[in-house]
Amino acid sequence: MSSVSVRLYKLNIVFPPFRPLMIITQKTTMLSFQVHDGMCKKREDLTADQRLHAVDSKPSLIEYLSYNLNFLSILVGPCSHYKDYIDFIEGRHVQRRLSGSNTGQNGYDKVPEPSPMAAVTRKLLICGVCMVLFLTLTKAFPITYNVDSHFVNEAPFLTRLAYAFFSIQAARPKFYFAWTLADAINNAAGYGFKGVDEAGQVSWDLISNISIWEIETATSFKKFIDNWNIQTGVWLKTVCYDRAPRYPTALTFILSALWHGVYPGYYFTFITAIPITLAARAVRKNVRQYFLSSYPLKLVYDVVTWAATQLCICYTVMPFLLLAVGPTMQYYRSMYFHIHIISILTVIVLSQSHKPRGSSSNGTKPGPYDPHPQAQPQLQPSNNNVKRK
């Protein structure tokens, strides 16, 4: 993959021919680890997630090729777990999640399958909106204007900061479009059923790659990246983060950069994300609990962290879109490297702080306005109260 990436870099070709190879790399490596977990490791040595997805027998050649090269995900993904894909191919994907059982011929004797029509229609409408936004906003806010010499030299710092924010916002719809369309295609084929929540609402988001609302309202760096390219995040967690003996955060970001290709901008982006992630964790661990005693304080905290998160994302992602070293360094100089400096200082200062007494396991002290970690409706493999979608 690296050899192909280098050749495409020399030809100044970005993404299109390379994307299928990136998806195949994800699937091949994830399947390899899951086969290793199922056939070579003791179950007690595995995490709960690793036990769930472990593959206990070696796939046949046709199963392996089908998983890697199926037309549903060959172009832009998403990558999914092998066992989920085989359940889909063998006709028990939906029924297993509805009834918790795979008995019966192909699982069709249990509960009528919910239709994906509503989910597909909604996602295609989102695709249409994203396409229109991309075609209009990208021309209005070109990324390259962030490093335009006249703009950098004449515009005040706050103006440049605001333009960076709007230009990054204008670049997002193309990613929203591609990933939502890929999700809709899988759903239309009957793949991607996640389950039914307590209210009986059906979800077709098992292999969704994006959660637009969670991204746009993210109040932490982690929440943003957890909802961006979700299945790639699952792959990185499966093959690197959960298995790294030391420095899992840094190693995971470096692997992500290597997987994307050889453009220098990718490495600037993911290496910059390391201190920002550590700083965000330190702030949440040491500061957040002081803002949970009342709703106004919690609201102030949410607004400030939302703005900080969005600005940090703009600063981090800009090299990913500029790609080359020259424009990237020009942009960071125009921003005075302020996010680098602030994040590193934050990590240094807050790492000296002691963990507050009575804090919870994640470093935050629960308060009356601290959202419960299980506040979102849980999807269950239940055959009761299914509302057709």
**Catalytic machinery residues:** 229, 260
Contacts 24+ apart (CB under 8 A), 133-136: 133/170, 133/173, 134/170, 134/173, 134/174, 134/177
Tell me which residue of 26, 89, 81 sits closest to 49, measured CA to CA: 81
Q: How far apart are CA 121 and CA 184, in angstroms?
A: 8
Q: Residue 235 burial by CB count (10 A; 0-12/13-18/19+): exposed, middle or buried?
A: buried
Tell me which residue of 314, 346, 319 sits closest to 161, measured CA to CA: 314
Q: Residue 356 burial by CB count (10 A; 0-12/13-18/19+): exposed, middle or buried?
A: middle
Tell me which residue of 234, 229, 139 sits closest to 180, measured CA to CA: 229
Termini Cα distance of the chain:
40
